[in-house]
């Protein structure tokens, strides 16, 4: 094999390796945006995880692309026709929402577990840094690539909470930060206590739970802790608010409805296995999935069970709610389309790998994030 | 150098191909496949369960355990294993030891394993369903953990060249599969109270030991209790973040390792030190009778007014049967006498140390259990005449244990596991060999003894149901009515019942207070069992005991990580803290029933069909300034059971493009280990420059292609016969591109190999091994080659102490005839001091004598920023002699000197020798010393 001694082959080989390791940086010179199309803020009547659409029987696969890393059980966000996909290798990849064409990527050293938030031309996201005991909050200008960074000790495992003017970050050690979009830290409150929770906002109060099972309420304007009540063995998932009530599941599988004003438990129900995702709701029903693969529908007011559906696998990701169906990803490589009224499985979409992220809906397109860094985009035919 | 490396690379992988010099061969014991397993499959939702024989019922129970464990573990790990998991069940440990799913030998203490290449879980059934459930869960924790970590690493796109430390891997498997039980607590108590405990910062010192398993389990339990159970999963989910596990641990817990360690040690001391208030070590209330090794199954017998203890022990590395003189008032310890050497011959192939395996009759016969061939046997040996009287083997009974004689010595009751996996009781008539089956179910019935007048059998069983379900209680079997009755019903495990010599009292081991101690059955005024009363309160377990008289017992007990014998006077024990536990027969119900996974569909119950998958694939491209670029690949496929393998080797040694096709080397082999006779066959094409052993630094080109067929038949674990026939076309350059030599070589080789050696850290210490080989190679077309081969290589090791040995070797190698190949010697592996492979001849003889001894057990050098530890440095003093010649014997060469050996990570031994060569036909020493460094095991 003496021909391999030829230098030109060595140079070409090295060059191809170098080129394949590079991804185009994400700079969108002409990018203009107001406030994002979907955001999980729950105040002002905006409902979480719900889209006021009816899902038809047909889904057509339009495109399928890969990102560099895999995903946490987070959300896929689309703003202004661009799908932003954060992955666990620390990269946010931007795709054209319709065609799947890769527009660029923002690379970091660590993991990105939470969905980014867009404010005008600034993409905000948090990276848990590799080989470090902290995270970094990035304010990335999409038009020129400038990146402003703020160190967040211990990093964060939950979602960012964005309102029209401000941004809230809950660090792993229980410290809650408030920033404005001009990158200024307005206050921080240390609620002490390990937390992986994703906070929610309801009537000027921020709520979150922690590993000790405490429910904590913080004034969103001043940062003052209103109350902390131990109501559970510990919380790991997200907390959802609606009309003065909070809904959260704990690590023993108990679902709680709690009043926001006092942190009083209104009702609770034991599903038997840990709950890690957000509790979703629609039309007086709330929906809860647990790690044992069971999905429940409860009456929001009374806690009565409307139906249960055993779909198997592990329910880790938050579902997406349509008017007629629940789209529930599962780690057993299936995503289930479930009748919202009776819990029956209408359709199963099979993938090659575990379904990780909560599904995202944007302008007639339904997106799924699958293990091993794959994004599937389906067209929804209503 | 590169070409030589590639040549030997091919050679090593085709050891059955013996057409070339017969010098490079292996000894080694044999993994004998006494039977071919007719595999069947049960397909469940997540598993493919492989079983054979009549094990179906147990396989269905195991399938249920597996699915239950899967459901629990997917929640614990917050993740799924999405591929189907192969679970391979073996009916007994003896058959498990025959598995080809792993190439190595499986020791007695291994209860199952998870094998990474094909993701197989391989588990033996040991007679207890609870233990079966535990092992299934344990191995599935490994599967889930491996899957979890792989996903974490892959999803974060960090390098995959890391794995958590073994203490975490095994500790997690134990912690998430079973509760903290008596055995675990016994080990930790002993470690903490006797200064053997190793903190986490230093846990590599006990890597691979049972203590490491239990410390790992205990540590994770401590983490859960102190910092929260969620931390355990977090340790795996944070695994991507730091390269060192220590940093992952500190980040996850939020404290530095020293602090965590200190808290853990403090917690352990808080827990165990208070035990001293009421409990005591064995050395306080009993007299130690042995000091070395691992000693089990003591049995007392008096003959000719002298008392003896008969037992099974491992005192030298070989497990054997011993006789120990016993005198109650003796001040010194007697040295045991070796009665039967174990693990050196086929009849006494191996013993089961941890199970009660020996009993003695009133007539002076001992009955002991050992493995011989494909199953256990019971041997009857007279300690009066010191001769073997009989050996019993039973067709469908594979594993035996707990033999016990009747009072008259004519019957033997014992426990056995049959082909269905049932662990039941049997009675053997020693005179006529007839056996009777007493129980026939899946409850683990063990430790049987005859009752008074030999009309009943008392035994321990897990058939307990009701409030104390699955606890081992004592039961009575009436030999006339065949009914089984509870004798005890308590919340504890009871084992090894023993009657006092007059049969008035029944004693046994019980773990009611957390460790096995001696208790007694208490009866009421109607002679009905009322409850149990504690006698001893030792800190660590009594494993077994035998009565000397009504008040004195000899115990086999665990303390300071060894199993020794103690003489104990039951009347001398403090009674003040003695506990009485009443029987709760009202809570007792009949037997429990095991849940099975219902598999009715024919589609889900199948016969095994071989499917092959890749074991490994290795490829390499090398380049150097002289020889240019070389490349090659090796890959291996095998079926799920590892019985049938295909190996492919391909590489190229061309120096220029035009030689590419000519220098293509390929070899394809099939090796089958599924039956007792292993066979292999293959084809090959080798072409390239070869090193000419006749002329230094010269190469010749040879192209050789052909095929071979090999057979290996093992007679036992220790002896085998090997035969190979090969046919190859050989074209060689005698003078490069000028004169060539063609031949069609037919080669036949037959060998006899024996190996019962016992290995120390750097080489054999005891036993012997030898190989006798005869071969004949001839050119059947051109008559250019025609020679015979004879090799005799004998090595014997004389044990001088536990770690000291005198090793001897005598070898002769003969190739005689036309174009006979030369043998080579010289270097650290044979004639030390002489340049490696510089001694060559068609005939060669070698002889060595070497004293091997321990030099330094451990040396630790602490530098400012790191420490360096070397352990197990051994020394050697040697004398070598040999000679090589073609036609006429020229001179005898020799050397003598001393050296050091260090075993690094149990993978390789480094050797350094200093000495003097003996030159000029053994007449003078070389003027200076030689210094030789190399690697390799002692001969």
Alpha-carbon separation of residue B741 from B729, B732, B738, B778 (angstroms):
11, 5, 10, 14
Say which of A68, A236, A331 has its CB closest to residue B157.
Answer: A68
Judge: A2–B80 Cβ closer than 8 Å, yes or no. no
Average pLDDT for B370-381: 96
Domain count, chain B: 5
Q: Looking at CA atoms only, how far is residue A53 from chain B in angstroms? A: 31
Sequential DSSP letters for B695-742: STT-EEEEEEEEEEEEEEEESSSSEEEEEEEEEEEEEEEEETTTEEEE
In whole angstroms, what is the distance from residue A364 CA to residue A345 CA?
22
Pair of tokens at residue B457? 């059998």
Domain for residue B649, yes or no? no
Say which of B79, B156, B254 has its CB closest to residue A88.
Answer: B156
Please write the tens of the pLDDT for every residue from A135-145.
Answer: 999 999 998 88
Q: Does B156 touch chain A (CB under 8 A)?
A: yes
Q: Do B173 and B272 have their domain in common? A: yes
Q: Looking at CA atoms only, how far is residue B157 from chain A in angstroms? A: 6
Say which of A1, A211, A332 has its CB closest to residue B82.
Answer: A332
Q: Do B70 and B174 have their domain in common? A: no
Q: Does A214 touch chain B (CB under 8 A)?
A: no
| Alpha helices (H) along B273-365 | 282-285
Contacts 24+ apart (CB under 8 A), A365-369: A365/A62, A365/A78, A365/A97, A365/A98, A366/A59, A366/A320, A366/A327, A367/A76, A367/A78, A367/A83, A368/A329, A368/A335, A369/A71, A369/A76, A369/A85
Q: Percentages helix, strand, coil for chain B, rounded to the nearest 5?
A: 20, 45, 35
Q: Name the average pLDDT for chain A.
A: 88
Maximum CA extent, chain B: 107
Last residue of a domain, which of B133, B161, B189? B161
Q: Which residues of A touch B655 (CB under 8 A)?
A: 2
Least confident of A134-148, B135-149, B293-307, B565-579: B565-579
Task: Give the per-residue pLDDT at B484.
Answer: 94
Q: Which residues of A touch B240 (CB under 8 A)?
A: 88, 111, 130
Question: Which position has the token pair 């041997």?
Answer: B379
Q: Does B658 touch chain A (CB under 8 A)?
A: no
| Alpha helices (H) along B273-396 | 282-285
Q: Do B827 and B939 have their domain in common? A: yes
What residues are paired with A327 via a beta bridge? Answer: A320, A337
Pair of tokens at residue B725? 């026939």
Alpha-carbon separation of residue B68 from B25, B63, B140 (angstroms):
48, 9, 11
Domain for residue B636, yes or no? no
Pairing assessment for the beta strands B85-90 and B47-51 based on DSSP bridges: parallel
Please write the tens of the pLDDT for every residue from A28-48.
Answer: 766 665 544 444 433 222 345
More confident site: A164 or B540: B540
Sequential DSSP letters for B355-407: S--EEE-TTSEEEEEEEETTEEEEEEEETTTTEEEEEE--TTEEEEEEEEE-T
Q: Do B588 and B479 have their domain in common? A: yes
Alpha-carbon separation of residue B631 from B48, B619, B637, B666 (angstroms):
39, 8, 21, 12
Task: Give the per-residue pLDDT at B658.
Answer: 78
Judge: A69–B655 Cβ closer than 8 Å, yes or no. no
In whole angstroms, what is the distance from residue B392 CA to residue B301 CA?
23
The phi, psi pair for B471, rounded to 5°, reads: -75, 150
Q: Does A291 touch chain B (CB under 8 A)?
A: yes
Q: Which residues of A touch B620 (CB under 8 A)?
A: none
In whole angstroms, what is the distance from residue B40 CA to residue B608 CA?
5
Q: Which residues of B touch A292 (CB under 8 A)?
A: 71, 74-75
More confident site: B785 or B1: B785
In whole angstroms, what is the distance from residue B754 CA to residue B29 CA?
8
Domains, chain A, in order of start with CATH, read 49-70+280-382 (2.40.128.630), 156-276 (2.40.128.630)
What is the interface size between A and B, counted as CB pairs within 8 Å?
91
Q: Helix (H, G, I), strand (E, B), or coil: what is residue B71?
A: helix
Residue from A72, A110, A107, A109 nearest A93 by CA: A107
The phi, psi pair for B212, rounded to 5°, reads: -60, -45
Q: Count how many residues are written for chain A.
A: 382
pLDDT band at B869 (very low <50, low <70, confident <90, very high): confident
Task: Give the per-residue pLDDT at B762.
Answer: 92
Average pLDDT for B340-368: 94
Task: Give the per-residue pLDDT at A58.
Answer: 86
Strands lying side by side in the sheet with A294-299: A280-282, A285-289, A294-299, A305-310
Please write the tens of the pLDDT for every residue from A210-219.
Answer: 999 999 999 9
Average pLDDT for A330-352: 95
What residues are paired with B903 via a beta bridge? Answer: B909
Domain of residue B469, residue span: 444-536+571-605
Pair of tokens at residue B76? 């614990």
Q: Do B339 and B464 have their domain in common? A: no
Judge: A5–B629 Cβ closer than 8 Å, yes or no. yes
CATH number at residue B327: 2.120.10.30
In degrees to the nearest 10, what's the CA dihedral of B878, B879, B885, B889? Answer: 180
Q: Which residues of B touch A354 (CB under 8 A)?
A: 79-80, 82
Interface test with A, best of B46, B69, B78, B235 (most A CBs within 10 A): B78
Residue A256 has pLDDT above 50, yes or no: yes
Residue from A172, A169, A167 nearest A153 by CA: A172
Q: Which residues of A touch B652 (CB under 8 A)?
A: 1
Please write the tens of the pLDDT for every residue from B586-615.
Answer: 888 877 888 888 766 555 677 888 889 888
pLDDT band at B623 (very low <50, low <70, confident <90, very high): confident
Q: Do B818 and B838 have their domain in common? A: yes
Q: Do B192 and B341 have their domain in common? A: no
Residue B21 has pLDDT above 70, yes or no: no
Residue from B314, B225, B306 nearest B268 by CA: B225
CATH number at residue B68: 3.40.30.160
Please write the tens of the pLDDT for every residue from B183-241.
Answer: 999 999 999 999 999 999 989 889 889 999 999 999 999 999 999 999 999 999 999 99
Residue from A109, A61, A104 nearest A83 by CA: A104
CB B691 within 8 A of CB B701: no
Judge: B230–A211 Cβ closer than 8 Å, yes or no. yes
Alpha-carbon separation of residue B71 from B30, B64, B354 (angstroms):
40, 11, 33
Q: Does B655 touch chain A (CB under 8 A)?
A: yes
Put simply, the chain B residues between 800 and 839 with a CB less than 8 A from any chain A CB are none
Q: What number of other Cβ atoms are within 10 A of residue B330's Cβ?
A: 12
In whole angstroms, what is the distance from residue B636 CA to residue B642 CA?
11
Domain for residue B393, yes or no? yes
Q: Looking at CA atoms only, how far is residue B244 from chain A in angstroms? A: 10
Q: What number of other Cβ atoms are within 10 A of residue B302's Cβ?
A: 11
Q: Does B251 touch chain A (CB under 8 A)?
A: yes
Judge: A69–B157 Cβ closer than 8 Å, yes or no. yes
Q: Does A209 touch chain B (CB under 8 A)?
A: no
Judge: A354–B628 Cβ closer than 8 Å, yes or no. no
In whole angstroms, what is the distance from residue B324 CA to residue B546 CA?
14
Judge: A111–B240 Cβ closer than 8 Å, yes or no. yes
Q: Looking at CA atoms only, how far is residue A4 from chain B in angstroms? A: 7
In whole angstroms, what is the distance from residue A273 CA to residue A290 CA?
6
Q: Does B226 touch chain A (CB under 8 A)?
A: no
Q: Which residues of B touch A88 (CB under 8 A)?
A: 155-157, 240
Domain for residue B75, yes or no? yes
Q: Helix (H, G, I), strand (E, B), or coil: what is residue B457?
A: strand
Say which of B82, B156, B631 has its CB closest to residue A354.
Answer: B82
Q: Is the four-CA dihedral A148, A149, A150, A155 of positive or negative sign?
A: positive
Maximum CA extent, chain A: 80
In whole angstroms, what is the distance from residue B917 CA to residue B890 CA?
17
Say which of A194, A314, A353 has its CB closest to residue B78.
Answer: A314
Judge: B155–A291 Cβ closer than 8 Å, yes or no. no
Say which of A70, A130, A273 has its CB closest to residue B241.
Answer: A130
Q: Which residues of B touch A273 (CB under 8 A)?
A: 75
Residue from B450, B442, B398, B448 nearest B423 by CA: B442
Pair of tokens at residue B204? 């590599």
Pairing assessment for the beta strands B294-303 and B843-862 based on DSSP bridges: unpaired
Q: Helix (H, G, I), strand (E, B), or coil: what is residue A243?
A: coil
Least confident of B4-13, B627-636, B656-665, B876-885: B4-13
Q: Is B274 exposed, middle or buried (0-12, 13-18, 19+ CB in 10 A)?
A: exposed
Q: Do B182 and B264 have their domain in common? A: yes
The percentage of chain B sitting over the pLDDT mark of 70, rounded to a whole number, equals: 95
Judge: A291–B75 Cβ closer than 8 Å, yes or no. yes
Q: Does A274 touch chain B (CB under 8 A)?
A: yes
Q: Does A374 touch chain B (CB under 8 A)?
A: no
Pairing assessment for the beta strands B445-450 and B465-466 based on DSSP bridges: unpaired
Last residue of a domain, which of B605, B625, B660? B605
Last residue of a domain, which of B416, B442, B468? B442
Q: Do B376 and B228 have their domain in common? A: no
Average pLDDT for B264-292: 94
Judge: A88–B155 Cβ closer than 8 Å, yes or no. yes
Question: Which position has the token pair 């010194």?
Answer: B332
Q: Helix (H, G, I), strand (E, B), or coil: what is residue B921?
A: coil
Judge: A131–B243 Cβ closer than 8 Å, yes or no. yes
The phi, psi pair for B674, rounded to 5°, reads: -75, -25
Domain for residue B43, yes or no? yes
Q: Is B228 exposed, middle or buried (0-12, 13-18, 19+ CB in 10 A)?
A: middle
Task: Give the per-residue pLDDT at A269.
Answer: 97
pLDDT band at B330 (very low <50, low <70, confident <90, very high): confident
Judge: B230–A3 Cβ closer than 8 Å, yes or no. no
CB B521 within 8 A of CB B534: no
Alpha-carbon separation of residue B401 from A94, B447, B462, B494, B924 (angstroms):
68, 8, 16, 17, 61
CB B129 within 8 A of CB B172: no
Average pLDDT for B630-637: 86
DSSP B877: E
Domain for residue B747, yes or no? no
Residue from B450, B448, B447, B379 nearest B409 by CA: B450
Domain for residue B203, yes or no? yes
Q: Do B329 and B431 have their domain in common? A: yes
Q: Which residues of A touch B631 (CB under 8 A)?
A: 1
Q: Do B896 and B814 have their domain in common? A: yes
Interface test with A, best of B69, B152, B157 (most A CBs within 10 A): B157
CB B848 within 8 A of CB B879: yes
Judge: B654–A2 Cβ closer than 8 Å, yes or no. yes
DSSP B411: E
Residue B20 has pLDDT above 80, yes or no: no
Please write the tens of the pLDDT for every residue from B446-489.
Answer: 999 999 889 999 999 999 999 999 999 999 999 999 999 999 99
In whole angstroms, what is the distance from residue B803 CA to residue B854 CA?
6
The percentage of chain A sitting over the pLDDT mark of 90, rounded to a whole number, equals: 70
Domain for residue B204, yes or no? yes
Interface test with B, best of A1, A193, A271, A272 (most B CBs within 10 A): A1
More confident site: A176 or B733: A176
Pair of tokens at residue A10? 């060595």
Q: Is the four-CA dihedral B195, B199, B203, B209 of positive or negative sign?
A: positive
Contacts of B905 (CB under 8 A, 6+ apart): none
| Alpha helices (H) along B368-448 | none
Judge: B240–A373 Cβ closer than 8 Å, yes or no. no
Q: Do B142 and B206 have their domain in common? A: no
The percentage of chain B sitting over the pLDDT mark of 90, rounded to a whole number, equals: 75
In whole angstroms, what is the distance from residue B600 CA to residue B546 CA?
50
Interface test with A, best of B241, B623, B652 (most A CBs within 10 A): B241
In whole angstroms, what is the distance from residue A191 CA to residue A176 CA?
7
Q: Does A69 touch chain B (CB under 8 A)?
A: yes
């Amino acid at each position: 094999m003496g021909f391999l001694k030829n230098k030109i082959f060595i140079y070409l080989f090295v060059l191809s390796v170098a080129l394949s390791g590079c991804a185009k940086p994400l700079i969108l010179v002409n990018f203009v945006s107001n406030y994002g199309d979907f955001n999980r803020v729950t105040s002002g009547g905006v409902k979480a995880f719900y889209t006021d659409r009816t899902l038809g029987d047909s889904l057509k696969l339009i495109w399928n692309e890969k990102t560099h890393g895999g995903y946490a059980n987070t959300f896929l966000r689309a703003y202004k026709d661009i799908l932003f996909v954060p992955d666990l290798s620390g990269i946010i990849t931007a795709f054209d929402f319709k065609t799947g064409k890769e527009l660029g990527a923002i690379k970091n050293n660590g993991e990105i577990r939470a969905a980014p938030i867009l404010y005008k031309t600034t993409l905000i996201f948090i990276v848990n840094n590799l080989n470090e005991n902290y995270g970094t909050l990035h304010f990335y200008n999409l038009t020129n690539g400038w990146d402003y960074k703020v160190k967040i000790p211990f990093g964060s495992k939950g979602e960012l909470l964005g309102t029209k003017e401000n941004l809230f970050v809950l660090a792993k050690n229980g410290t809650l930060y408030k920033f404005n979009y001009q990158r200024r830290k307005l206050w921080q409150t240390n609620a002490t206590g390990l937390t992986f929770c994703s906070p929610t906002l309801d009537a000027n109060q921020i709520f979150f739970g922690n590993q000790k099972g405490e429910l904590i309420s913080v004034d969103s304007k001043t940062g003052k802790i209103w109350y902390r009540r131990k109501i559970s063995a510990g919380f790991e998932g997200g907390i959802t608010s609606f009309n003065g009530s909070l809904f959260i599941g704990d690590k023993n599988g108990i679902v709680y409805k709690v009043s926001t004003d006092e942190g009083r438990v209104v009702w609770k129900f034991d599903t038997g296995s840990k709950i890690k995702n957000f509790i979703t709701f629609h039309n007086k029903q709330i929906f809860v999935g647990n790690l044992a693969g069971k999905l429940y529908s409860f009456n929001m007011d009374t806690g009565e069970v409307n139906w249960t559906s055993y779909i198997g696998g592990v329910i880790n990701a938050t579902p997406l709610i349509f008017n007629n169906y629940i789209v529930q990803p599962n780690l057993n490589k299936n995503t289930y389309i479930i009748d919202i009224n009776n819990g029956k499985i209408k359709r199963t979409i099979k993938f090659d790998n575990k379904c990780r992220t909560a599904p995202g809906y944007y302008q007639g397109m339904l997106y799924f994030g699958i293990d091993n860094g794959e994004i599937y985009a389906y067209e929804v035919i209503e | 150098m590169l070409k030589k490396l590639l040549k030997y690379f091919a050679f090593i992988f085709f050891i059955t191909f013996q057409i070339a010099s017969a010098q490079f061969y292996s000894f080694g014991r044999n993994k004998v496949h006494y039977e071919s397993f007719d595999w069947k499959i049960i397909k469940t939702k997540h598993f493919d369960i492989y079983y054979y024989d009549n094990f179906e019922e147990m396989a269905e129970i195991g399938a249920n355990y597996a699915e239950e464990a899967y459901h629990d573990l997917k929640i614990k790990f917050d993740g799924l294993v999405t591929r189907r998991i192969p679970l391979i069940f073996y009916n007994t440990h003896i058959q498990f030891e025959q598995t080809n799913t792993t190439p190595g030998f499986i020791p007695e203490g291994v209860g199952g394993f998870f094998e990474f290449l094909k993701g197989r879980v391989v588990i033996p059934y040991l007679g207890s369903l609870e233990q079966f459930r535990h092992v299934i869960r344990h191995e599935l924790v490994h599967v889930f953990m491996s899957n979890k970590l792989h996903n974490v690493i892959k999803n974060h796109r960090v390098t995959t060249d890391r794995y958590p430390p073994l203490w975490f891997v095994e500790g997690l498997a134990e912690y998430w599969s079973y509760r903290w039980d008596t055995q675990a607590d016994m080990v930790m108590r002993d470690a903490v109270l006797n200064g053997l405990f190793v903190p986490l910062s230093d846990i590599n010192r006990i890597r691979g030991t049972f203590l490491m398993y239990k410390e790992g389990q205990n540590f994770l339990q401590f983490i859960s209790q102190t910092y929260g159970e969620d931390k355990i999963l977090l340790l795996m989910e944070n695994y991507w973040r730091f390269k060192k596990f220590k940093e992952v641990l500190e980040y996850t817990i939020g404290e530095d390792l020293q602090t965590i360690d200190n808290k853990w040690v403090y917690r352990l001391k808080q827990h165990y030190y208070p035990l001293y208030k009421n409990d005591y070590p064995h050395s306080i209330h009993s007299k130690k009778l042995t000091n070395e090794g691992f000693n089990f199954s003591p049995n007392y017998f008096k003959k000719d007014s002298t008392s003896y203890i008969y037992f099974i022990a491992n005192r030298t590395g070989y497990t054997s049967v011993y006789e120990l003189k016993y005198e109650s008032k003796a001040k010194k310890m007697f040295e045991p006498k070796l009665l039967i050497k174990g693990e050196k011959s086929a009849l006494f192939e191996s013993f089961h140390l941890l199970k009660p395996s020996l009993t003695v009759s009133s007539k002076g016969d001992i009955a002991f259990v050992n493995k011989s061939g494909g199953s256990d046997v019971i041997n009857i040996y007279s300690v009066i005449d010191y001769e073997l009287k009989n050996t019993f083997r039973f067709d469908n009974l594979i594993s035996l244990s707990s033999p016990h004689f009747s009072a008259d010595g004519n019957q033997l009751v014992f426990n056995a596991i049959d082909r269905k996996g049932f662990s039941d009781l049997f009675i053997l008539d020693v005179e006529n060999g007839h056996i009777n089956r007493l129980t026939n179910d899946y409850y683990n019935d063990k430790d049987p003894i005859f009752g008074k007048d030999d009309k009943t059998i008392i035994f321990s069983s897990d058939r307990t149901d009701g409030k104390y379900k699955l606890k081992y209680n004592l039961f009575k079997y009436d030999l006339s009515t065949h009914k089984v009755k509870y004798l005890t019903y308590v919340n504890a495990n009871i084992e090894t019942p023993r009657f006092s010599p007059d049969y008035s009292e029944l004693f046994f081991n019980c773990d009611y207070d957390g460790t096995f101690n001696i208790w007694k059955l208490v009866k009421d005024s109607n002679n009905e069992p009322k409850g149990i009363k504690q006698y001893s309160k030792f800190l660590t377990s009594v494993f077994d005991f035998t009565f000397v008289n009504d008040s004195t017992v000899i115990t086999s007990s665990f303390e300071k990580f060894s199993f020794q014998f103690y003489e104990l006077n039951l009347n001398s024990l403090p009674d003040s803290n003695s506990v009485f536990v009443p029987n709760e027969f009202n809570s007792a119900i009949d037997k429990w029933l095991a849940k099975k996974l219902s598999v009715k569909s024919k589609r889900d119950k199948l016969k095994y069909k071989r499917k092959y998958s890749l074991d490994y694939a290795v490829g390499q491209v090398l380049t150097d300034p002289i020889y240019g670029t070389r490349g090659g690949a090796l890959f291996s496929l095998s079926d799920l059971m590892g019985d049938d393998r295909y190996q492919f080797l391909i590489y190229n040694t061309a120096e220029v493009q035009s030689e590419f096709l000519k220098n293509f080397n390929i070899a394809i082999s099939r090796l089958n280990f599924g039956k007792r006779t292993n066979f292999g066959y293959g084809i090959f094409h080798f072409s390239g420059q070869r090193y000419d052993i006749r002329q230094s630094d010269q190469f010749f080109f040879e192209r050789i292609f052909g095929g071979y067929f090999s057979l290996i038949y093992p007679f036992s674990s220790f002896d085998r016969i090997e035969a190979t026939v090969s046919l190859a076309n050989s074209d060689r350059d005698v003078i490069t591109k000028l004169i060539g030599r063609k031949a069609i070589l037919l080669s036949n080789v037959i060998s006899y190999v024996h190996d019962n050696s016992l290995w120390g850290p750097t080489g054999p210490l005891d036993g012997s091994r030898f190989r006798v080989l005869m071969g004949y190679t001839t050119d059947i077309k051109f008559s250019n080659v025609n020679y015979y081969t004879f090799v005799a290589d004998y090595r014997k090791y004389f044990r001088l102490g536990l770690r000291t040995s005198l090793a001897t070797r005598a070898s002769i190698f003969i190739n005689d005839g036309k174009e006979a190949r030369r043998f080579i010697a010289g270097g650290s592996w044979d004639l030390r001091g002489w340049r490696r492979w510089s001694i060559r001849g068609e005939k060669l003889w070698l002889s060595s004598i070497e004293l091997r001894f321990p030099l330094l057990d451990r040396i630790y050098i602490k530098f400012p920023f790191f420490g360096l530890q070397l352990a197990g440095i051994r020394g050697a003093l040697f004398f070598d002699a040999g000679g090589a010649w073609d036609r006429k014997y020229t001179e005898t060469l020799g050397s003598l000197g001393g050296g050091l050996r260090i075993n690094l990570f149990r993978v390789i031994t480094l050797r350094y020798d200093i000495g003097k060569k003996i030159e000029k036909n053994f007449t003078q020493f070389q003027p200076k010393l030689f210094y030789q460094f190399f690697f390799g095991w002692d001969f």
